[in-house]
Structure 1
Amino acid sequence: MRFLGDKRSIGSILLTAMILIGWKGFAQKTDTLNAPPAVLPGVYADPNLTVFNGKFYIYPTTDGTTGWLSTYFTCWSSDNLVNWKNEGTIIDLPKDLSWAKVRAWAPTIAQKNGKYYFYYSADVNIGVAVADKPTGPFKDPLGKPLIKKGSVRGQVIDPMVFVDDDGAAYLYFGQGQCHVVKLNDDMISCDTTKMISFKPEGYNEGPFMIKRKGIYYLMWSEYDTRDPRYSIAYATSTSPLGPFKKAVGFPVLKGKGVVKGAGHHSVVQVPGKDEWYIAYHRFKIPGGNGYNRETCISSMKFDKDGNILPVDVFEKLKPVKLKDYKKR
């Protein structure tokens, strides 16, 4: 037992233990070979994350086919952002549409007038569907696209609808070029002659708008979704229509290590709090690619000047409760 009585030996043991503990903590922080699990089982991409009446919802693209040939959309619900329930198919293109049968991509949803308005890409057009509940059933009120392919420069895909504090709603969309148009009060029509088109530096697709403390943040995906460098950038404005000034520095979100192709996102604010979360897809781990992607969620933070801080794609998602949320 002389070893235990040797102060120098005890000190060496303690020092070694501290170093090992410190290294373990450091390794955990910088471990890019292990990522948190996806929040949805299977392959889903382009997730639109939102909150309605005290519950979170995700509306994704169904992935897993070369050329992205999905024909239907699903809805998922959660009470805590971590555990998700499949609410089933909410639109089946061959059954529910007369004008498109394939390429069901990148949906979004908005609530107004006591209704839920679901916007989506279908065969490179943008459509709209309406329901009384966020889980549907959704019906096509137009019998035709809201925005037809070929009507603007670039692909007519990736719709996002932002409803401002004054109730005005704006539709953002476009691959290769960003377009924005104010929707009419009925939420299923717009004056395309008043559409604004522009292309921020690095813009490719997936526009998404949020508003925080009077500042409008237009976010988008850069590179191609099949490219491991796929990532998210943003620009700011004092108007939902711009002009927008691109933020400099690191992207909002990009892959690292085992995480590749992280992009095409959406953002949700916890009601009543300055607390934000970003949903996005990445190449499926393991063995994924631009046609086999999975949905993830991470926290998103701002600095004191309102800049969006780089998202840590290796941070473990903690449950978020909305039990104190009051229906508005």
Structure 2
Amino acid sequence: MRLCFLLLVACWPFTGSIAQQAASDTLHAPAPALPGVYADPHLAAFGGTYYLYPTTDGTEGWLSTSFTCWSSKDLVRWKNEGVILDLPRDLTWATQRAWAPAIASKNGKYYYYYSAAQSIGVAVADKPTGPFKDPLGKPLVAKAAFKGQMIDPMVLVDDDGAAYLYWGQGQCHIVKLNADMVSYDPAAVVEFKPPGYNEGSFVFKRQGKYYLMWSEYDTRDPRYSVAYATSSSPMGPFTKAASNPVLKGRGVVKGAGHHSVLQVPGTDQWVIAYHRFKIPGGNGYNRETCLSPMRFDTQGNILPVDVFEAVKPTKAKQVAPVRP
């Protein structure tokens, strides 16, 4: 017994140092959520299933030509649902630069917003996995229609069923969509640029407050990161939070940004999806998709995300969709 006690005492400092080392380890990041190189992930949940809609990465200049969808029942194991939109096959106005998709559900349909040929398009399907069809035969927001680049769309469907489109690189744009989800009044577009804003806007609502998040720096820059602002209205004005960025790389994790946020249905549990440089050997053209928990303090401020914390298996509850 005495020998056991002495061994325990002798090992105590060593055990503590192991725990301390694990907490500060910045060399062993969690595995990516998806195999291979995918970026700009949009995470959503429909009917008890999670879905990821990323950019297909791996070409210098971001010259991808199609989009895929991935599904999961627990946020951890993902199934490739295949190509859901192929630009040369499905569009008449764009053949490459398939970037930064987003999805929204309304009217019993699924609306897929995406960047192509530095314009923004929309496609419609009856299921989250497609097939998606182009209802317009032209961009929803054409290249050079407003200031900055017409890329990186995101749509928020509010509690009252109203839908808002956010987009833009170099400048943030907001407009309320018409009831059909595929048109809007160009004269109603609001333009502004939060301090540090570059691209990848994403908006969500929590406890009556609207959070506008975006990526700062360039996606090829290891400093690429995510900041946020808040408002009492989906159209703003938005006030940048004092504590930013809330997502950034650390250690072996570089270029953490261009994200989306998901509230686990029926809970106040939140997940942030984002990309980082591929580990090892990644860069702004070879990025991988990751998922981490996202939390708030008691005042509703977003707490810094730990890029070394992976999500745990979490089932999605079935919650009735928002209806107008």
Q: Which residue of 1 aligns with 2:36?
A: 42
Q: Secondary structure at the match of 1:307?
A: coil
Which runs of structure 2 are paired with 1:289-304 in the superposition (5 Å)? 289-304=283-298
- With over 3 angstroms needed to count, the CA separation of the structure-2 counterparts of 1:19 and 1:99, relative to structure 1, is same
Once residues 310 and 175 of structure 2 are traced to their aligned partners in structure 1, the CA distance between those partners, rounded to angstroms, is: 37
- State yes or no: 1:58 paired with 2:52: yes
Distance 2:238 2:288 in 1: 30
**What residue in structure 2 maps to residue 251 of structure 1?**
245
Deviates more, 1:249-258 or 1:39-48: 249-258
List gaps (5 residues or longer) in structure 2.
none
TM-score normalised to the size of structure 2? 0.97
Q: Give, in whole Å, the separation in 2 of the partners of 1:208 and 1:5.
A: 61
CA contact (8 A) 2:112 2:123 kept: yes
Letter in 2 for 1:205: E
Change (3 A) 1:326 1:159: closer
The within-5 A match list for 1:32-181 is: 32-181=26-175
Q: Counterpart of 1:296 in structure 2: which amino acid?
A: C
Q: Please provide the CA RMSD for this pair.
A: 1.2
The one-letter amino acid of 2:40's match is D
Distance 2:132 2:201 in 1: 23
Report whether the alignment pairs 1:325 with 2:318: yes
Among all aligned residue pairs of Structure 1 and Structure 2, give the percentage whose two residues are the same amino acid: 69
How far off is 1:316 after superposition?
Answer: 2.7
Whether the aligned pair in 2 keeps the contact of 1:217 and 1:235 (CA below 8 Å) is: yes
2:291–2:310 contact (8 Å) kept in structure 1? no
Q: Deviations over 1:79-113 (max 9, x none)?
A: 00000000000010001100000000000000000
Describe the superposition over 1:260-302 as per-residue Cα deviations: whole angstroms up to 9, x where unpaired. 0000000000111100000000000000000000000000000
Bigger Rg, structure 1 or 2: 1
User: What is the number of equivalent residue pairs in this alignment?
Assistant: 321
The residue that corresponds to 2:212 in the other structure is 218
- Give the corresponding residue for 1:282: 276
Distance 1:58 1:312, change over 3 A: same
1:14, distance to aligned residue in structure 2 (A): 3.0
Partners of 1:54 and 1:327 within 8 A in 2: no
Give the letter for the 1:238 counterpart: S
Q: Secondary structure at the match of 2:13?
A: helix
- Where 1:91 maps in the other structure, the secondary structure is strand
Is the 8 Å Cα contact of residues 276 and 299 (structure 1) preserved in structure 2?
yes
Choose which of 181, 188, 198 in structure 1 pairs with 2:192.
Answer: 198
| Change in CA separation of 1:5 and 1:117 when aligned onto 2, cut-off 3 Å | closer
Tell me the alpha carbon deviations over residues 107-157 of structure 1, each in whole angstroms, 9 at most, x when there is no partner.
000000000000000000000000000000000000000000111110000
CA contact (8 A) 2:218 2:224 kept: yes
Pairing 1:6-45 to 2, within 5 Å after superposition? 10-11=5-6, 13-45=7-39
Structure 1 residues 269 and 183, CA gap change in structure 2 (3 angstroms)? same
Which secondary structure does the structure 2 equivalent of 1:271 belong to? coil
